[in-house]
Structure 1
Amino acid sequence: MTLTDEDKITIEKFALQNAVKYGKTPQLGAVMGRVMGSCPHLRPLAKDVGPMIQQILDEVSKESPEAWQSRLEAIAPELIEELNTKKVPDKGLKPLDVAEGETVVMRFAPNPNGPPTLGSTRGIVVNSEYVRRYGGKFIIRFDDTDPQTKRPMLEAYDWYIEDCTWLDAKPDKVVIASDHMEVYYDYARKLIEMGHAYVCFCEGGDFKKFKDAKEPCPHRGQSPVVNLEHWDKMLAGDYEEKAAVVRIKTDIKHKDPALRDYGAFRIVKTPHPRPEVGDKYVVWPLLDFEGAIEDHELGMTHIIRGKDLMDSEKRQGYIYNYLGWDYPKTTHWGRIKMHEFGKFSTSGLRQAIEEGEYSGWDDPRLPTLRALRRRGIRPEAIRKFMIEMGVGETDVSISMDTLYAENRKIVDPIANRYFFVWDPVELEIENAEACVVEPSLHPTEERGRRSINVGSKAFVCNDDVGSVKEGDVLRLKDLYNIEVTSVSPLKGRCIGNSMEDVKSRKMRIIHWAPEDNVSIKVLAPHGEFTGVGEKQVVEELNNVVQFERFGFCRIDSVDDGVVAYFTHK
């Protein structure tokens, strides 16, 4: 498959629009981002698209702004109109700074001490979307070199891959840091030999005093030969935990204390949970060292990280400078705060689950992808939600309602409607005749009807009848109108099926469930709801349905009654 003449015109019009908008020849990356974002069929042809864009930009640079305007009016007048239309601030992802011929390589690097949460999902979606637009490579790298404080969970490695695939973000490559310990050791030895790293035996508090005073600790001046001897003893397990640390030499008088001779390796004798690693190693790299080496080894071109990790780039920059490497292009973003969850951490959630506060990682109250998937949130909704949020250093405070709104657009047209009565009250209808009613499965889509057998009894919500009095009139939705003849026990009599009566007498319309029903339990973030509903619900296993006047729910099991997970209103 090659670029067509139509594709070339598309590239030219976006190049010209950018040139007209900013009054100068655009950068290749800016046009590439617009082209890939608007033309999904070109994403597999990124290697052909880049040179073609550059060729067109070379031609554009030879013309005047007047010529750009004239040509754009001729081939894409709608883009001129777009420029002249006052729009709301741009949503979504801005173009990357991509050099000509550069293959974009980006990564998401989780600590697998639990499954992905909404917070980590942003990194999965945004990085995968960028490489998709630029025809690059998306890597999942498990930063699992802390077997003690943030101890990995064996299940979490697979959970991440499963959730990435579900999000349409299947990685091109999966890397596990604990498989590369010998690589980190080799670079540590090299830096020690070069005199850029040393083994420090200071206690934590003592080293802090030296660091705060901008003075070298007693071990900083050791020769590489002495440091290598200590390094070999560390690897052999001759030192106890916290007895020795490998530090990277920086500027000991740097104005920022966090950048003064930072730790690169420490001794941890807790076995790693991966059986292939186990107690094989007792010296483990800290994250700044491990990440710096991996980003280089994997050929990372662009990194997106939290603005709270800006110091990481500065610390890692010393390693890159010592080894003569170029640092990847880096973008920072602010934190996401979800109103419904407040602050949360994977470690905190793990502890709460172990203490029995939650039923598991897919408890509907949790902000994990496993919980959202079980509730019926669609991956397309999550992707759009994260992409439209964009990348910026401003902290973002949002509500789950925004995600629910995106999901509602997807599930509303496909979710069948059913009656579910929670906290049910039995209603005897004194003059009822057995009949069958057939409400539609969907109010606007032609999807057929469900069949409900009606006898002399029905069930209604306690909330709907808790305050009724004798003589009150109600409409049982899609059935008939009743007049209440007794409150305790609750009884009524049918008074016809006229919708005109409903309007003229201002009847409340309530839903109901037949006597021949199925038990239903709904698990929701805001509580547990038990009741009864239509038997036909058992045919909707794993589907999202809408329980009328309650909300959308995903049917999770039908073995012993129905168990559903609340999706949203």
Structure 2
Amino acid sequence: MEETVIRDLIRRYALQNAVKYGQTPQKGAVMGKVMGEHPELRSEAKKITEIVDEVLAQVDELGRDRWRPELERIAPELIDEIFEPKEPRKGLPELEGAENGVIMRFAPNPNGTPTLGNARGIVVNAAYVKKYGGKLIIRFDDTDPSTKKPMIEAYDWYLEDISWLGVHPDEIIIASDRIEMYYEYATELIELGKAYVCLCPQKAFKELKDAKKPCPDRDTSVETNLERWQRMLDGEYEDKAAVLRIKTDIRHKDPAIRDWVAFRITRAAHPRVGTRYIVWPMLDFESAIEDHVLGITHIIRGKDLIDSERRQRYIYDYLGWEYPVTIHWGRIRIHEFGRFSTSEIGRGIKEGRYTGWDDPRLPTLRALRRRGIQPRAIEKVMIEMGLGENDVAFSMKNLYGENRKLVDPIAAHAFFVPDPVVVKVEGKGDFYIPRDDLNKLKEGDILRLKNRFNIRIEKLEPVTVSYAGDDLEFAKKENASIIQSVPLDDAVPVSVLMPDGAVISGVGESSIRNEVGKVVQFERFGFVRIDSVSESEIVACFGHK
């Protein structure tokens, strides 16, 4: 962005801030607005700060009486934002340049199962394809056989979970099937003099890079680079002994952009192709090539990957390609889970801390499905989250609220009694009631067994009760608690797996044997999904209240 454009932008935001608050514009607020609306300027923070200081001094000198007239002259729409506040926008904004259809992709690394964070990418990309027409591609970026090694089962897991969300891709691409194609483009870049084989030890190259100095191999001839590239492919170099780098600006202000690695050597076995290849493309290279070859029109990616775009643009410029429209969004932080990564979950499973990828304690789609969360509820909250660049602090309560709307009309109702105590009611039978409710009572209190009758607590030790009639109004008059109960002759053992790892044991009505795989509302307890039924026990997974 040209400096004159940047200055004009800053002046607009400074005047808007001044008019809104009736005082000299605040530097922090103006900087925040500029960087928030134009993240591509973050790499130029020092320069932007200097310009902001200059512009704020000019606005202050302009004088309070001239702030609004000047803003009305250069940016009247910003006046509207101040004095005509709008409702917060939910949902997805329009996509630039999508009028003739879109080709979009969701590109996971299959090193585990999809998480709730992954669901956002799946749902939003699919929603845009549905809105504008076009094509949705699922692409497995699986070219890291060592650091984030793919799992052979995870390819199918992803496709199953994507289908469960109601998304049906038009095409499925697996990067490890297309290694030869990446080699061809690498060769073309070497022939153009835009890529070179670097033999520097990693530490030595970093020292040169940090000093903005080229490595000795940077100006090697095309012929020598082609020869070294072939030697890499033939396995003549040890792991880490050689890498292929893309030439950029070695004096670029961002060290991460300077002559970045496109290919490395690793002899780790890949779960799909074994040891057929030892030279593997880094994600930035593989993704850049694929996005062009597949004709991707729009990319939605995390704002933490802005540097990826800057690196990839060198390839696009060298090969005369047009870069897709890119939208960056903030991370999702789920209050109830904190920071989870697929790698961390995988380690936890190997170490026995979790029972599997569907452990109810995890934020994976398999775990949520096991708990009875409906795909439409996930879709709705992800769409409403929109595409904002700010990080999103997300509470599972939002998802539970949407899920409740879906399951409440269809869920069977049943009684479940945790930590049960037996009470004998003469003339009525024997019943299980919750120990926790009993502990809150004193002798003489009235208790209502929901949908049944009233009992009076005669003694607490040992528990002795008496029948106190059927009248519900009497129970209300006595301010009696209304609790669930299960007759002894209709009770089955039930264990409920909770999201915090606890297991709540109790008894439930035998009718829930017929609800395996379905969501059931346990009265006064919450919604659960019946996970399994055996002769000895029923296992349920807790969803939410």
TM range (shorter): 0.7 to 0.9
Structure 1 counterpart of 2:92: 93
Q: How does 1:225-264 map to 2 (within 5 A)?
A: 225-264=223-262
Question: Normalising to structure 1: TM-score of the pair?
Answer: 0.80
Any conservation in 2 of the 1:415–1:544 contact (CA below 8 Å)? yes
Give the Cα separation in 2 of the matches to 1:467 and 1:261: 70
Matched, 1:518 2:492: yes
Q: How does 1:212-231 map to 2 (within 5 A)?
A: 212-231=210-229
Question: What is the CA distance between 1:86 and its match in structure 2?
Answer: 7.5
Question: What is the CA distance between 1:535 and its match in structure 2?
Answer: 0.7
Q: How does 1:168-247 map to 2 (within 5 A)?
A: 168-247=166-245
Structure 2 counterpart of 1:324: 320
Structure 2 counterpart of 1:122: 120
Query: Which residue, out of 456, 464, 477, partners 1:504?
Result: 477
Query: Which residue, out of 532, 542, 550, partners 2:517?
Result: 542
Give the AA of the match of 2:262.
A
Matched, 1:286 2:282: yes
Any conservation in 2 of the 1:235–1:282 contact (CA below 8 Å)? yes
Give the Cα separation in 1 of the matches to 2:366 and 2:319: 41
Structure 2 counterpart of 1:139: 137
Any conservation in 2 of the 1:474–1:482 contact (CA below 8 Å)? yes
Question: What is the CA distance between 1:557 and its match in structure 2?
Answer: 1.2
Structure 2 counterpart of 1:22: none
Where does the alignment leave 5 or more consecutive residues of structure 2 unmatched? 1-83
Question: What is the CA distance between 1:115 and its match in structure 2?
Answer: 0.4
Match of 1:426, SS?
A: strand
Match of 2:153, SS?
A: helix
Give the Cα separation in 1 of the matches to 2:127 and 2:481: 49
Structure 1 counterpart of 2:104: 106
Matched, 1:312 2:285: no
Structure 2 counterpart of 1:60: none
Give the Cα separation in 2 of the matches to 1:468 and 1:374: 36
Match of 2:105, SS?
A: strand
Question: What is the CA distance between 1:541 and its match in structure 2?
Answer: 1.3
Any conservation in 1 of the 2:358–2:370 contact (CA below 8 Å)? yes
How many residues in Structure 1 have an aligned counterpart in Structure 2?
A: 460
Structure 2 counterpart of 1:565: 541
Match of 2:313, SS?
A: helix
Over the matched positions of the two proteins, sequence identity in percent amounts to: 60
Any conservation in 1 of the 2:494–2:506 contact (CA below 8 Å)? yes
Show structure 1 runs of 4+ deviating over 6 A: none
1:114-168 CA-to-partner distances (Å, cap 9, x unmatched) read 0000111110000011001111100010000000110001111001111111111
Any conservation in 2 of the 1:432–1:493 contact (CA below 8 Å)? no
Matched, 1:165 2:141: no
Give the Cα separation in 2 of the matches to 1:467 and 1:247: 71
Matched, 1:480 2:450: no
Matched, 1:402 2:398: yes
Give the AA of the match of 1:253.
R
Where does the alignment leave 5 or more consecutive residues of structure 1 unmatched? 1-84, 434-455
Question: What is the CA distance between 1:432 and its match in structure 2?
Answer: 2.1
Match of 2:357, SS?
A: coil
Give the AA of the match of 1:466.
N
Give the AA of the match of 1:553.
V
Any conservation in 1 of the 2:360–2:499 contact (CA below 8 Å)? yes
Question: What is the CA distance between 1:505 and its match in structure 2?
Answer: 1.2
Match of 1:198, SS?
A: strand
Structure 2 counterpart of 1:81: none
Q: How does 1:300-379 map to 2 (within 5 A)?
A: 300-379=296-375
Any conservation in 2 of the 1:421–1:459 contact (CA below 8 Å)? yes
Any conservation in 1 of the 2:196–2:247 contact (CA below 8 Å)? yes
Give the AA of the match of 2:394.
I
Give the Cα separation in 2 of the matches to 1:151 and 1:491: 62
Match of 1:154, SS?
A: coil
Give the Cα separation in 2 of the matches to 1:154 and 1:94: 36
Match of 1:300, SS?
A: coil
Any conservation in 1 of the 2:239–2:265 contact (CA below 8 Å)? yes
Question: What is the CA distance between 1:332 and its match in structure 2?
Answer: 0.3
1:218-277 CA-to-partner distances (Å, cap 9, x unmatched) read 000100100111110100111110000000000111111111000000000011011xx1
Give the Cα separation in 1 of the matches to 2:153 and 2:269: 17
Match of 2:118, SS?
A: helix
Indicate how the Cα distance of structure 1 residues 158 and 539 shifts in structure 2: closer, same or farther if over 3 A, else same: same
Match of 1:556, SS?
A: strand
Give the AA of the match of 1:525.
P
Give the AA of the match of 1:98.
G
1:303-358 CA-to-partner distances (Å, cap 9, x unmatched) read 00100100111100000000000000000000000000101100000000100000
1:95-128 CA-to-partner distances (Å, cap 9, x unmatched) read 111255x330000100000000011111000001
Any conservation in 1 of the 2:98–2:132 contact (CA below 8 Å)? no
Structure 2 counterpart of 1:440: none
Q: How does 1:429-468 map to 2 (within 5 A)?
A: 429=425, 431-433=426-428, 456-468=429-441
Question: What is the CA distance between 1:175 and its match in structure 2?
Answer: 0.3
Matched, 1:469 2:465: no
Give the AA of the match of 1:548.
E
Structure 2 counterpart of 1:35: none
Any conservation in 2 of the 1:475–1:509 contact (CA below 8 Å)? yes
Tell me how large the CA RMSD over aligned residues is: 1.3
Match of 1:502, SS?
A: helix
Indicate how the Cα distance of structure 1 residues 563 and 207 shifts in structure 2: closer, same or farther if over 3 A, else same: same
Any conservation in 2 of the 1:104–1:131 contact (CA below 8 Å)? yes
Question: What is the CA distance between 1:469 and its match in structure 2?
Answer: 2.8
Question: What is the CA distance between 1:489 and its match in structure 2?
Answer: 2.5
Give the AA of the match of 2:492.
V
Give the Cα separation in 1 of the matches to 2:354 and 2:184: 43
Question: What is the CA distance between 1:461 and its match in structure 2?
Answer: 0.6
Give the Cα separation in 2 of the matches to 1:87 and 1:291: 38
Question: Normalising to structure 2: TM-score of the pair?
Answer: 0.83
Any conservation in 2 of the 1:118–1:368 contact (CA below 8 Å)? yes
